[in-house]
Amino acid sequence: MDQQQNQIISLIAVFLALGIGILIGASMGEKALVLHQLAFIEELKGEIMHYKEEINNQFASFSRLQEELLHWELLEEKYLNSLLIENKLQDVVIKVIALEGIETGLENFLLDSGSAYQIFVYTEASREVPFFIQEEAEIYILSGSGNPDEYLAVVLENIQQQGMLIIRVTEDLDEEMALNVASDNLSFPTVNRIDKFYNKVKLLELIQEHLRKVGGW
């Protein structure tokens, strides 16, 4: 009897020791896991702060570059305008067909270049007086970001067939250099961002090249 009692007590002691060991081990393992997670989180925080600093530095560099670019563009127009654009189209007849008003950059170009330009604001009502468009001119400029309707597209196509140059001028960001509207046969060079000086020079080159081809210069 005593022997059986001792065996039972021994078994109970073993199970108690095993249970206590399991609890202690689990507690230590959980603590280690928590510490590992905390260390990992701190590492992630450090990486995020590092990337944030890099982004801030890049944004600051970008802002400085924008300021420098604006500064050089202003200097470019101030000192090169008289050399490259001023009076370069003296008395050249240019007719501007404005779809949604004329861009400020284009009007400044026409004034500085000394061209003899006229502006025609095209609307549905103006279809009744197409004489401005059909009268002969050396250069036609289609101004604005809107698209010509079918009637105007036909008129422009007739102008092109007579060998006249039509240039599309906008202040849009689109970099495409050709525009097709209303007809597969209607396409012409496009100068975007006419508010930029180098695009004014590009417009001048297109006009001068056409004048040389037709013997107007």
DSSP code, position 167: E
Q: Is 98 left (phi over 0), alpha (psi -120 to 50) or beta?
A: beta
Each of the 217 residues of the chain gets a pLDDT tens digit; together they read 555 555 555 555 545 555 555 555 555 555 665 566 667 667 777 777 888 888 888 888 888 887 877 777 777 777 777 788 899 999 898 999 888 778 888 999 999 999 999 888 887 766 654 555 556 677 899 988 777 888 888 888 888 888 888 999 988 765 443 444 444 556 788 898 888 888 999 999 999 999 988 875 5
CB environment 168-197: b (16+ within 10 A), e (fewer): bbbbeeeeeeebebbeeebebbbbbbbbbb
Strand order across the 93-98 sheet: 116-121, 93-98, 139-143, 165-169, 187-191, 178-180
